[in-house]
Amino acid sequence: MRIEWLEAAIYDLQRLREFIRPHNKEAAQLAFRAIRAAVVPLETNPRIGKPAEDLPDCHDLVIPFGAAGYVLRYRIQGDTIFIIAVKHGKEAGFSGHTPSGWMVNDPVEETYGMLADSGPSLAGEHLEERRKA
């Protein structure tokens, strides 16, 4: 399975990081790494997330971190896992993440670059594969 991050999900990561960073830069880095690490098992076990209660074609992966953790919403389509959104465990729902955005599977390279200064690239190998293709 391949992992594709939709632009909205990358924005969510940026938003979450920017919320934490002014208070604790190290925690912002650790949260980013926890989310990135949680995605890796999806490549071989795409159904480890629980079915989303509000959208039957989506799954929610709970990522333990701190008191509330994070929830990563994704959709499996063919041999690709589309990461749709990421939210803090205390945030309400996934408002603003509509099915119309699910088919966007070519996020702009600049969006990945927004996260580059936070350590290892989130898209890392996936972005490199895109450049080679």
Query: What is the per-residue pLDDT for 94?
Result: 56
Place 120 in a pLDDT band, splitting at 50, 70 and 90: very low
Closest CA to 59 of 30, 38, 28: 38
pLDDT in tens, 24-55: 999 988 998 999 899 999 999 999 999 988 88
Predicted model pTM: 0.69
18's tokens: 């920017």
CATH superfamily of 2-132: RelE-like (3.30.2310.20)
Domain spans in the chain, listed from the N-terminal domain onward: 2-132
Q: How do 70-77 and 50-51 pair as beta strands?
A: unpaired
Q: What average pLDDT does the segment 58-65 reach? A: 91
Determine the pLDDT at residue 53.
83
Q: In 3D, which of 10, 79, 18, 20 has the Cα closest to residue 44?
A: 79
Confirm if 11 and 111 have CB atoms less than 8 A apart.
yes
| Average pLDDT over the chain, rounded to an integer | 74
Q: 9-23, 67-81, 82-96: which range is least confident on average? A: 82-96
Does position 113 have pLDDT exceeding 80, yes or no? no
